[in-house]
């Protein structure tokens, strides 16, 4: 395959399966020997990854991209790069988002000033895609939300705007598990302009359960109505749950709990903050047999938990206020007072302090924290980004990544660090049954996760819980992307997809009504 091929994977809705389908196509192409890269022009998510890119002067520079693009890069056999997600919007409230451009924060936007910044973001995204297409045989692009957001089409540079600018063929994936998939697919096409419709080449149905024969009449009817084929039907598969990026992917029990190795389970409640950031940290716990992880907003769910986790937040002070309003602060204190373990990660760690001074994110000044740790937090204008390493739990190797403005400015009392750094200093805190760290991803280090869960089970009185000795989180991630590629190879018309990637959308695709409103 010559350089320059491409495809845009769009969806009828958020969480329709765009990210995972893109990862699956990337992995399948990589296994076929194609030099492939992922791309998402603009992502809106607080689940981000820290990547290291080589700057023009040869030094390594840390930047942020969406976690889905990091997974897709892994599927391609590539190190993640800021080029794979040039624009990342991180919502701090319902109205404002922090803007990350090629990995670095360049400001914040709301509905009023987005237009002023949009041209710069668009031009950077499109130029980045053009560079990638010159470098790789194929670039598999992921859209955002729906390509038929008719109120936003004029300024769109992520979905059909990107497809038109780069002459990319488009496939649309719909989640049949939600119902109404045929109407959603038809409506997605029918509300596009003729020029946009000319690039929409066909459809994929995702998360199908049951007898495929019952679905076929609907597929045939919609293909006839639209003049476009279905490239396949992907089955619902319970093994696909890791690295969920969209907020809609979280709710209830996380993952697919495997049977306990010992006589008891360990019950974990993760507080589902409104502006939760990198809640994927909980996935490492959910990967362990005998560990039941629930995401919750209810104090009652903390009452019978063995371990409580307060995850990261894009707006620590605002989410702390929400936590108090829900009565979760009292539930957390009662849990700690009972001697049971509590883990705070990044923003959740900051909430445990005695005071928080924030003139950066919430701009609320000084507010009281939960007072569970004897620390004080201050917010710096410059964001801390990094991929540090160290040791924890008596010398166990640990790696993680940091994304935060808040810093510990003082300790009223000395505490043991959660992590020992190579220079001998410490990070985070261990104070009896309370643990805290700014490091995301630390629990993906298998030895640290096992040591932490063993200590947490002891403190929770779960003497019958036995941590599995052989769970490897990296193997689980590899198995996930290989499974996605297997599903693509088995259930999609890969020959037709490859033609799309190489040759673009076929000529003469019909226009269906009513078309885009004037």
Give the active site residues. Answer: 346, 440
Q: Is residue 22 within 8 Å of residue 38, measured between CB atoms?
A: yes
CB atoms within 10 A of CB 319: 25
55: which DSSP letter?
A: -
CB atoms within 10 A of CB 516: 16
Q: State the DSSP H helix or E strand holding residue 285, giving kind and residue range, or none if neither.
A: helix 281-286
Pick the closest to residue 284 from 482, 440, 504 (CA basis): 440
CB atoms within 10 A of CB 252: 9
Would you list the DSSP string of 17-43?
SHHHHHHHHHHHHHHTT--EEEE-SEE
Number of residues assigned to the chain: 518
Strands (E), 338-428: 342-345, 355-358, 365-368, 375-386, 389-392, 396-399, 402-411, 419-420, 426-427
C-alpha span between 239 and 230 (Å, rounded) = 24
Opening angle at CA 145, ends 490 and 40, nearest 5: 70
| 145 Ramachandran zone, left/alpha/beta (phi>0; psi -120 to 50) | left
Q: Are strands 97-101 and 104-109 parallel, antiparallel or unpaired?
A: antiparallel
Provide the sign of the torsion angle of the four alpha carbons 7, 192, 228, 181, taken in this order: positive
C-alpha span between 318 and 358 (Å, rounded) = 10
Strand arrangement, sheet containing 307-310: 252-253, 291-296, 266-271, 307-310, 342-345, 434-437, 429-431
Pick the closest to residue 393 from 435, 336, 352 (CA basis): 435
Pick the closest to residue 88 from 165, 13, 158, 16 (CA basis): 158
Strands (E), 262-374: 266-271, 276-277, 291-296, 307-310, 312-313, 342-345, 355-358, 365-368
Provide the sign of the torsion angle of the four alpha carbons 220, 222, 227, 228, taken in this order: negative
Q: Give every CB contact of residue 233 below 8 A, 6+ residues apart in sequence.
A: 204, 205, 208, 212, 215, 219, 491
CB atoms within 10 A of CB 473: 18
Our separate counts of H helices and E strands in the chain read 15, 29
């Amino acid at each position: 395959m010559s350089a320059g091929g491409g495809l845009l994977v769009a969806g009828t809705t958020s969480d329709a399966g765009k990210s995972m389908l893109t990862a699956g196509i990337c992995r399948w192409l990589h296994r076929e020997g194609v030099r492939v890269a992922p791309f998402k022009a603009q992502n809106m998510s607080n689940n981000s990854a820290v990547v290291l890119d080589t700057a023009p002067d040869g030094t390594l520079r840390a930047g942020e991209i969406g976690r889905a693009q990091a997974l897709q890069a892994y599927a391609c056999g590539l190190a993640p790069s800021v080029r794979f997600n040039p624009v990342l919007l991180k919502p701090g409230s319902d109205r404002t988002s922090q803007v990350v451009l090629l990995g670095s924060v360049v400001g914040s936007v709301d509905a009023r000033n987005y237009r002023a910044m949009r041209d710069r973001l668009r031009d950077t995204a499109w130029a980045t895609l053009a560079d990638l297409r010159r470098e790789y045989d194929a670039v598999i692009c992921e859209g955002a939300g729906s390509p038929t957001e008719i109120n936003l089409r004029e300024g769109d540079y992520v979905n059909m705007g990107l497809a038109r600018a780069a002459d990319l063929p488009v496939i649309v994936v719909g989640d049949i598990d939600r119902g109404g998939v045929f109407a959603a697919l038809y409506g997605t096409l029918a509300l596009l302009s003729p020029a946009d419709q000319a690039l929409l080449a066909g459809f994929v149905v995702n998360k199908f359960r049951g007898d495929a024969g019952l679905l076929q009449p609907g597929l045939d009817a919609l293909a006839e109505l639209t003049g476009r084929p279905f490239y396949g039907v992907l089955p619902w598969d319970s093994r696909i749950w890791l690295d969920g990026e969209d907020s809609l992917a979280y709710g209830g029990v996380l993952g697919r709990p495997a049977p306990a190795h010992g006589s008891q389970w360990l019950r974990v409640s993760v507080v589902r903050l409104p502006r939760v950031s990198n809640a994927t940290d909980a996935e490492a716990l959910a990967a362990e047999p005998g560990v039941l992880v629930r995401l919750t907003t209810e104090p009652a769910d903390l009452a019978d938990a063995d371990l409580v986790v307060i995850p990261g937040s894009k707006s620590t002070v605002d989410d702390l206020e929400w936590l108090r309003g829900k009565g979760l602060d009292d539930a957390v204190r009662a849990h700690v007072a009972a001697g049971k373990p509590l883990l705070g990660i990044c923003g959740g760690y900051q909430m445990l302090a005695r005071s928080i001074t924030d003139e950066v994110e919430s701009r609320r000044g000084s507010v009281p924290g939960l007072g569970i740790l004897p620390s004080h937090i201050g917010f710096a204008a410059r964001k801390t980004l990094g991929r540090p390493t160290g040791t924890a739990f008596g010398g166990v190797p640990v790696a993680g990544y940091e994304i935060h403005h808040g810093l510990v400015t003082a300790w009223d009392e000395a505490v043991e660090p959660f992590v020992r750094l190579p220079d001998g200093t410490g990070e985070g805190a261990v104070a009896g049954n309370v643990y805290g760290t700014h490091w995301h991803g630390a629990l993906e280090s298998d030895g640290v996760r096992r040591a932490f869960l063993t200590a947490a089970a002891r403190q929770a009185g779960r003497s019958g819980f036995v941590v599995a000795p052989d769970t490897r989180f990296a193997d689980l991630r590899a198995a996930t992307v290989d499974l996605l590629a297997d599903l693509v190879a088995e259930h999609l018309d890969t020959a037709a997809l490859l033609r799309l990637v190489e040759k673009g959308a076929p000529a003469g695709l019909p226009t269906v009504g009513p078309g885009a409103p004037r």
